[in-house]
Structure 1
């Protein structure tokens, strides 16, 4: 395909360059989701237990995260966190931080707000009788949760979690706004040098679609495996 604004030979030339930054994008996804899982679990536990004050704060946090654009949150973390740390620590220890750290934190905080609701719903979907059965055979609260509640809640959680993870992949395209050279950052750099951006965006779109497809297939396979094991145990 050729034309005044789009040449396929440029696609062939730019594709390896854009693809070389896929590990940066995947790294953002993995680290951010790791932060989100830890924070979301704590938020979900606080809201399920209805701890005074903390439960209200957690609900406010979730509402804020779900009601503001991720781009706004990126800039709030990037510009606001140094001010907070300086206020409490007396000095700005973030001045030498890699910009990726701010991206990890911003996306981690964002995903935690959404994931906490999925985790809370998954845990509450397990009938209370399951926990009572665990207590009746002498299991502690922790043992009951990990042996009885968590396995059942995981099956409910996986579809929502997979949707979030797949959605996070293209959402990381905004990381370049903080100066991170991920795939979109590479496209911008190519455009600055060559004055041709359409081919770069096309390359990024293809890579995002393929990567999202692979992630979807992994979670579909995982869900099928869990359902199969459930049927075997129930047989």
Structure 2
């Protein structure tokens, strides 16, 4: 049992937790950057129907979307060093953050690949055919016609993934990574004011998540500025609502 609730501890804990915010944000940023690279590599075989690679991509996506990220953390942390031992490489002194970032990168890559695939498929094929008709090459049609629209379409999905990753970093402390959640555990154990610690932590996550959501909404509006707007509130309605309805079913199906 913790001590009696004291609101002053919430205010005291916030700056202490914020001192570890850079670690949390580093995990998110690094995993998203690596995840984008993985997602592109995984999406291409499925977009271009490359037989063997397409099947491997499907298995990879199904596994990382179908298993809890906490289990993935343990599998990577304990499994990867064992695999490297087979080729004589010792990873026992590797920083735990490497395994955390690797796990979140693989996890993010699966979702990003589905987002890329769904966004590209959502672009009207007639536009691509029209691009070919006026003499554009496949590369030009993709970079000038498909990619700009696919980026705009994928912003809400990408935003949801970044925010989800931010919240999922709270599981990294299970491997001993000292980010904000790990620090909150330490503060709670030392002071016995666990409720105050978790309130402070939740406030930080809430503020950052809200800021990220608004940032991505602004980016989406900028990417869609060339489209005809029906009303002043059209970008907001199209934002995190319509694109979800259009794309999430295809992402969930994974077909």
| Common topology (TM > 0.5) | yes
The CA deviation at 1:5 is 2.9
In structure 1, distance between residues paired with 2:111 and 2:190: 38
| Cross-structure match for 1:193 | 190
| Cross-structure match for 2:181 | 184
Match of 1:139, SS? coil
In structure 1, distance between residues paired with 2:84 and 2:135: 46
Matching of residue 58 in structure 1 with residue 45 in structure 2: no
Matching of residue 121 in structure 1 with residue 150 in structure 2: no
Aligned length: 228
In structure 2, distance between residues paired with 1:27 and 1:4: 33
Q: Which moved more, 1:62-71 or 1:220-229?
A: 220-229
Query: Cα RMSD over matched residues?
Result: 1.6
Q: How does 1:103-118 map to 2 (within 5 A)?
A: 103-118=100-115
Match of 2:63, SS? helix
The CA deviation at 1:95 is 2.2
In structure 2, distance between residues paired with 1:126 and 1:9: 53
| Cross-structure match for 1:31 | 30
In structure 2, distance between residues paired with 1:9 and 1:111: 38
| Cross-structure match for 1:81 | 80
| Cross-structure match for 2:236 | none
| Cross-structure match for 1:99 | 96
In structure 2, distance between residues paired with 1:230 and 1:53: 39
Q: Which runs of 5+ in 1 are unaligned?
A: none
The CA deviation at 1:146 is 1.2
In structure 1, distance between residues paired with 2:38 and 2:113: 8
Using the size of structure 1 for normalisation, the TM-score is: 0.92
The CA deviation at 1:204 is 0.5
Offset from partner CA, 1:92-144 (integer Å, 9 cap, x none) = 2x222211111111011111111211110100111222222333333332222
- Contact preservation (8 Å) 1:135, 1:144: yes
75, 88, 91: which one pairs with 1:90?
Answer: 88
In structure 2, distance between residues paired with 1:118 and 1:30: 18
Match of 2:51, SS? coil
List 4+ stretches of structure 1 deviating above 6 A: none
The CA deviation at 1:4 is 4.7
- Contact preservation (8 Å) 1:5, 1:198: no
- Contact preservation (8 Å) 2:17, 2:183: yes
Offset from partner CA, 1:163-183 (integer Å, 9 cap, x none) = 111111111100111111100
Q: Which runs of 5+ in 2 are unaligned?
A: 230-255
